């Protein structure tokens, strides 16, 4: 465990924002976004304005504020503004749909929602069912009847005295999708971001004020660390990206912003390597990426093949690591000059690991066990989920649900999940949710979804579908079913492959035998 030596009264917004101004970095660029450059002075002023706005809207200590905002400066102003006011910020997955937003609004009892205008249509579908929500503040378009973010900030004071929170007060929640039945709010505290920054940003990445960090998706733990607090912990610059994850666009970003650290996921690393290689084959003279000292990959397993392709094209070392919503960020990571492709590395300083068999006994080197982690950034509780908290948070130890093997050199290797959950594009996917959606289609009798590795060893959903008697299998129906799912739940959850079958293998108790379906795919 790291010793942070924080004072009892501690507010994370003061540490990550105000401290940089106090230490003389007020004129330095804190945020780059499109054609905007926001200084640390500007960041602090806008954080203070948001804190004043929230206070005037009736938000007090420990009240929740839900943030449904793209990776923009407004997201960071709102995140730290809520914390500075003593409230609890809840960054929310922008890829989800109206029913998920309603669940989180009512579960968290958020009093205020700050929402990007592009997501307002989904929110307006469920506003009349949001029991605790009092105010909606919209960033962007003004063609609505809600409060306008820019207008509120323009009229708010740029000065604000931070609420007298403690290092153990709740600062933000992150909703975890590891339980297929329900989303669960993992409660994180004002000290947790400091712990992660010291352990990983400084301890592994050796980040400094000279760095320019580029990543995406601030709504989940990996992205939040990369873009919202690692750079500010060391007085560096964060580069925010809100466009679609297309390789040609990200390549332009690498040229334009010249990040020194690029945080991403294996899917995009593979796409970038292929994009650069195809440009060379087509005789297109792509500009050279300059200034990049390392790439960080997490949220899904990086295959040795993608590692090799990317390093060959860019000449940059990739540090793969793994973390979780409940631990706040990465707790296993490779090191500079010591990368083992295919491994997620060794424990990050400040975190302890143990591998246990199904009976709770320790396993030895080169044996597969269930991974538990201990560290000072572990969520204290799942909000209003006592049973899940007791099941997964065993004193100081957190049950990850991952199965790992550790070799004789201390490197950890992912060996699957101990449940049915899938990790797709860095986000959790519950097969039962996809099956429930597919089964609502008029042509479907039942379905089963499993994970399938594509050509880059990345997991994607594969659906086996039994049709009703009056339906006929066809390529057109398969495409219609994919579109049906995309329209109803988060897009990343739709099945990339559909196989029509006569029956679904099940146990005598009616549980789907997913391993049988996995074997069926592997035999093809």
Residue of 381, 418, 479, 419 lying closest to 185 (CA atoms): 381
In angstroms, the CA 275 to CA 268 distance is 10
| Lookup: tokens for 24 | 């003389």
pLDDT averaged over the chain? 93
In this prediction, residue 150 carries a pLDDT of: 96
Q: With a cut of 90, say whether residue 16 has pLDDT above it.
A: yes
In angstroms, the CA 467 to CA 392 distance is 38
Percentage of the chain beyond pLDDT 90 is 80
Q: With a cut of 70, say whether residue 508 has pLDDT above it.
A: no
What would the mean pLDDT of 283-289 be, rounded to a whole number? 85
3-state helix, strand, coil in the chain (%, to 5): 30, 25, 40
Q: With a cut of 70, say whether residue 494 has pLDDT above it.
A: yes
| Lookup: tokens for 195 | 């712990």
Residue of 111, 109, 114 lying closest to 81 (CA atoms): 114
| Least confident stretch, 50-64, 277-291, 413-427 | 413-427
**Helical ranges in 204-358 per DSSP H:** 221-224, 230-233, 247-257, 266-281, 304-314
* DSSP labels, 72-84: SHHHHHHHHHHHH
In this prediction, residue 55 carries a pLDDT of: 98
Distances (CA, A) of 157 to 152, 173, 318, 419: 10, 27, 44, 50
Residue 510 confidence class, pLDDT cut points 50, 70, 90? low
Helix then strand count (H, E) for the chain reads 17, 26
Residue of 295, 264, 305 lying closest to 426 (CA atoms): 264
What angle do the packed helices 304-314 and 266-281 form, to 10 degrees? 50
Residue 180 confidence class, pLDDT cut points 50, 70, 90? low
- Rounded to two decimals, the pTM is 0.85
Per residue in 181-221, pLDDT tens?
A: 789 999 999 999 999 999 999 999 999 999 999 999 999 99
In angstroms, the CA 400 to CA 4 distance is 24
Residue of 427, 147, 410 lying closest to 299 (CA atoms): 427
Locate tokens 């397993």: which residue?
Answer: 301
What would the mean pLDDT of 394-402 be, rounded to a whole number? 94
Residue of 338, 7, 378, 335 lying closest to 203 (CA atoms): 335
In angstroms, the CA 276 to CA 392 distance is 43
Measured from the Cβ of residue 338, the count of other Cβ atoms closer than 10 Å reads 12
| Domains delineated in the chain | 12-166 (3.40.50.12780), 212-415 (3.40.50.12780), 429-522 (3.30.300.30)
* Residue with more model confidence, 419 or 243: 243
SS (H, E, C) 358-395: CCCCECCCCCEEEEEEEECCCCCCECCCHHHHHHHEEC
169 alpha-carbon distance from chain centroid? 22
217 alpha-carbon distance from chain centroid? 6
Sign of CA dihedral 107, 112, 117, 120: positive
């Amino acid at each position: 465990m790291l010793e942070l030596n924080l004072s009892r009264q501690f507010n994370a917004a003061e540490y990550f924002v105000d401290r940089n101004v106090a230490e003389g970095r007020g004129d330095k660029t804190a945020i780059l976004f499109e054609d905007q450059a926001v200084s640390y002075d500007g960041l602090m002023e806008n954080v203070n304005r948001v804190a004043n706005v929230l206070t005037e809207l009736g938000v007090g200590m420990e009240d929740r504020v839900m943030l449904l905002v793209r990776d923009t400066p407004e997201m960071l102003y709102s995140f730290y503004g809520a914390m500075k006011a003593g409230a609890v910020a809840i960054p929310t997955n922008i890829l989800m749909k109206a029913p998920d937003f309603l669940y989180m609004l009512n579960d968290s009892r958020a009093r205020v929602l700050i929402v990007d205008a592009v997501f307002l249509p989904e929110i307006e579908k469920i506003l009349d069912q949001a029991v605790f929500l009092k105010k909606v503040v919209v960033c962007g378009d003004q063609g609505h009847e809600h409060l306008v973010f820019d207008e509120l900030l323009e009229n708010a004071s740029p000065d604000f005295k931070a609420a007298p929170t403690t290092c153990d007060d709740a600062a933000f929640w992150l909703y975890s999708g590891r339980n297929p039945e329900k989303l669960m709010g993992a409660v994180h505290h004002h000290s947790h971001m400091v712990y992660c920054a010291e352990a990983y940003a400084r301890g592994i990445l050796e980040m400094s004020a000279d760095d320019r960090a580029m990543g995406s998706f601030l709504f989940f733990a990996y992205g939040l660390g990369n873009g919202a607090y690692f750079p500010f912990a060391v007085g560096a610059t964060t580069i925010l990206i809100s466009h679609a994850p297309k390789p040609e666009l990200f390549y332009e970003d690498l040229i334009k912003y010249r990040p020194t650290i690029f945080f991403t996921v294996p899917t995009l690393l593979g796409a970038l390597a292929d994009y650069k290689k195809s440009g060379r084959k087509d005789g297109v003279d792509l500009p050279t990426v300059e200034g990049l000292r390392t790439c960080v990959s997490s949220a899904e397993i990086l295959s040795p093949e993608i590692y090799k392709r990317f390093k060959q094209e860019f000449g940059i070392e990739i540090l793969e690591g793994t973390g979780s919503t409940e631990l706040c960020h990465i707790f296993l990571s490779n090191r500079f000059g010591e990368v083992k492709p295919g491994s997620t590395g060794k424990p990050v300083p400040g975190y302890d690991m143990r591998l246990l068999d199904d009976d709770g006994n320790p396993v030895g080197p080169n044996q597969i066990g269930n991974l538990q982690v201990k560290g000072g950034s572990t969520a204290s509780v799942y909000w209003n989920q006592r049973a899940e908290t007791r099941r997964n948070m065993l004193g100081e130890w957190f049950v990850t649900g991952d199965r790992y093997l550790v070799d004789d050199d201390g490197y950890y290797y992912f060996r699957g999940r101990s449940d049915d959950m899938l990790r797709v594009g860095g986000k959790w996917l519950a097969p039962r949710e996809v099956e429930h959606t597919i089964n609502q289609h008029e042509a479907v009798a039942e379905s089963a979804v499993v994970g399938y590795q594509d050509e880059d060893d990345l997991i994607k959903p594969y659906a086996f579908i039994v049709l009703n008697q009056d339906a006929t299998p066809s390529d057109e129906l398969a495409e219609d079913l994919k579109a049906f799912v995309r329209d109803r739940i988060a897009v990343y959850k739709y099945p990339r492959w559909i196989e029509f079958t006569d029956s679904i293998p099940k146990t005598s108790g009616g549980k789907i035998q997913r391993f049988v379906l996995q074997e069926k795919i592997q035999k093809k």
